């Protein structure tokens, strides 16, 4: 039996219990404090821009009352958007190039669009000299916001805009080695200088949809440009060996009750695999598609980023394909020639083309190269990043060879004549209604001098032949790059 002297006094026991409770509470509050610090760090680095960029956030109005919105510039330093003072002591946004950069640069009112939206927080931030900022605050003067330098090439943008003329559609170009977006055109367009006065008209025009950025948000049947994907799948299933493929084109192909006809019912005669691609023979590619493994094609489409968000810093549509092991024969054949229910955006098609040109590697696309304060000090610089190996490099040489044949001996011979560089690509004519005579005109391709450098994708809504209409537009953009 323990003696009375071995027992701790009641007060001591209460004191120990109290200390434990205090320690527990202390640890709880300490954990909450650490969690708060982590959240604040996460908010500052990750979500603050998104929250502040929200058009319903009233903090934007506060920032605009204290800061003159920064400039947006092209890669050469041409001013694409700036803020000027008016005669009444107020400010207005000026877009010197008017319609030419309308969708990609955007506007700063009515919800914000383009780079104006992407870097809204930056443009309303001031990282200039602290002494100057305090002095301006004390004097009631506005500080100048940070300036955004883009990757956009003025000459290429103007070339694409002029080449499209009054056609509907989009043009988008990218440096395949870096991921820099060099130009992005969407038509019909608008003048961002007049956006406030014509907002209701633009917004209610559902026929022309001038506010829709077709380059990123357009969603189209890919037509024969999709034969790049079909060819890739066939190469994969035959381990790159297609030398024994041959097909006699009579103008149409029938398989298990499904009939596929060539564009304009053209008869191509005897074709090997490369010729089938170069001449864009629907019949031969329907035959090729009939031999594909549906599940393997589904996997290839998944690897090419169909049915999932793209690694883009701006809003975009998601490419769609419903091919699976349960797809019908007709669905498989239609998909193989780029028809059926398959949909893709111009920027998505450009990314696939860029990966082919870059030996299978897709660089992460970006449109802002650096942020500078009003004193030209660099605040942030964006560097090229590899996104993924989109295509196994052992298949890209075969695809490149076929895409070059399209220009040399196939449907894009109109763009063969170049000075100091060469073009490779794929044309497409995509049916989009029950009227088989109507089709969108596509071209997607890349250019090289010593090695592939730049990729361009063009779609002309209702344009008809991709080789006759879309390819020459792309050539003018290539010419502007290599001038």
Give the tens place of pLDDT for each residue, 25-66. Answer: 888 888 888 877 777 666 555 555 555 555 555 555 566 667
Query: According to the model, what pLDDT value does residue 458 have?
Result: 98
- Per DSSP bridges, beta strands 258-261 and 247-249 are unpaired
Q: What's the CA gap between 389 and 386, in Å, rounded?
A: 8
Range of the domain at 281: 217-365+388-482
Burial class (CB in 10 A: 0-12, 13-18, 19+), 286: buried
Measured in degrees and rounded to the nearest 5, phi and psi for residue 416 equal: -70, -35
76 inside domain:
no
Percent above pLDDT 90 for the chain: 73
> How does pLDDT run across 65-104, given as a tens digit for each residue?
678 999 999 999 999 999 998 888 788 999 999 999 999 9
Let me know if residue 379 belongs to a domain: no
pLDDT above 80 (res 365):
yes
- Identify the pLDDT of residue 37: 76
Task: Kindly give the pairing relationship between strand 386-389 and strand 422-431.
Answer: unpaired
401, 426 in Cβ contact below 8 A?
no
Nearest residue to 125 (alpha-carbon basis) of 196, 180, 210, 59: 59
Q: For residue 364, name the pLDDT band (cuts at 50, 70, 90).
A: very high
- Give the CATH number, domain containing residue 433: 3.40.710.10
Is 341 contained in some domain? Answer: yes
| pLDDT for res 2 | 47
Which residues are CB-neighbours of 376 under 8 A, at least 6 positions away?
none
Residue 264 has pLDDT above 90, yes or no: no
Sort 8 into a burial class: Cβ within 10 Å, 0-12 / 13-18 / 19+: exposed
Give domain status of residue 7, yes or no: no
Peptide bond into 220 cis (omega under 30): no
**How many residues are present in the chain?**
483
Contact 64, 124 (CB under 8 A): yes
Number of domains comprising the chain = 1
Is it the case that residue 110 has pLDDT exceeding 80?
A: no
pTM of the model as a whole = 0.87
């Amino acid at each position: 039996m323990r003696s009375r002297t071995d027992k701790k006094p009641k007060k001591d026991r209460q004191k120990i219990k109290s200390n434990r409770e205090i320690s527990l509470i202390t640890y709880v509050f300490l954990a909450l404090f650490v969690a708060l610090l982590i959240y604040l760090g996460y908010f500052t680095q990750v979500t603050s821009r998104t929250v502040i960029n929200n058009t319903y956030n009233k903090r934007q109005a506060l920032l605009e009352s204290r800061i003159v919105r920064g400039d947006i510039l092209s890669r050469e330093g041409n001013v694409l958007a700036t803020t000027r003072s008016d005669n009444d002591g107020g400010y207005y946004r000026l877009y010197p190039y008017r319609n030419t950069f309308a969708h990609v640069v955007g506007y700063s009112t009515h919800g914000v669009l383009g780079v104006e939206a992407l870097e809204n927080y930056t443009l309303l931030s001031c990282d200039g000299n602290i002494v100057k900022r305090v002095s301006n605050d004390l004097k009631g003067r506005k500080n100048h916001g940070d300036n955004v330098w883009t990757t956009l090439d003025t000459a290429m943008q103007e070339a694409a805009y002029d080449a499209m003329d009054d056609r509907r559609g989009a043009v988008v170009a990218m440096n395949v080695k870096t991921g820099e977006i060099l130009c992005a055109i969407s038509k019909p367009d608008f003048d961002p200088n007049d956006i406030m006065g014509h907002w209701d008209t633009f917004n209610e025009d559902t026929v022309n949809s001038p506010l829709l950025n077709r380059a990123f948000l357009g969603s189209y049947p890919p037509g024969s440009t999709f034969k790049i994907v079909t060819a890739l799948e066939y190469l994969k299933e035959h381990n790159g060996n297609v030398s024994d493929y041959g097909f006699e084109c009579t103008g149409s192909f029938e398989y298990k009750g499904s009939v596929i006809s060539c564009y304009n019912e053209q008869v191509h005669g005897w074709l090997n695999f490369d010729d089938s691609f170069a001449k864009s023979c629907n019949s031969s590619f329907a035959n090729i598609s009939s031999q594909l493994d549906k599940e393997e094609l589904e996997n290839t489409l998944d690897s090419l980023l169909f049915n999932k968000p793209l690694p883009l810093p701006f809003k975009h549509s998601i490419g769609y394909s419903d091919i699976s092991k349960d797809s019908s024969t007709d669905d498989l054949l239609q998909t193989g020639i780029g028809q059926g229910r398959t949909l893709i955006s111009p920027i998505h098609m450009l990314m696939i083309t860029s990966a082919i040109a870059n030996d299978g590697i897709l660089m992460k696309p970006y449109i802002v190269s650096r942020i500078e304060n009003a004193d030209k000090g660099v605040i942030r610089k964006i560097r090229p990043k590899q996104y993924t190996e989109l295509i196994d490099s052992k298949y890209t040489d075969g695809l490149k060879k076929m895409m070059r044949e399209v220009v040399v001996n196939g449907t894009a011979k109109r763009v063969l004549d170049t000075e100091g560089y060469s073009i490779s690509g794929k044309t497409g004519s995509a049916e989009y209604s029950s009227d088989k005579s109507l089709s969108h005109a596509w071209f997607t391709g890349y250019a090289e001098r010593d090695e592939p450098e730049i990729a361009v994708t063009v779609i002309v809504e209702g344009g008809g032949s991709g080789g006759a209409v879309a390819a020459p537009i792309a050539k003018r953009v290539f010419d502007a790059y290599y001038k």
